[in-house]
Amino acid sequence: MKKWLFLASVLLPFIATAHDGHGIFDASNILHYITTPEHALPLGGGIVLLGLLLKNRSKKTA
Predicted pLDDT of residue 17? 57
Residue 31 domain boundaries: 2-61
Buried b (16+ CB within 10 A) or exposed e, 36-55: bebbeebeeeeeeeeeeeee
How many structural domains compose the chain? 1
pLDDT at 59: 81
pLDDT at position 57, please? Answer: 86
| The pLDDT value given to residue 48 | 93
Q: pTM of the predicted model, to two decimals? A: 0.54
Instruction: Give the pLDDT score at 47.
Output: 92
Identify residue 41 by its one-letter amino acid code: L
pLDDT tens digits, residue range 2-49? 777 777 777 666 555 555 666 677 777 888 878 888 778 888 999 999
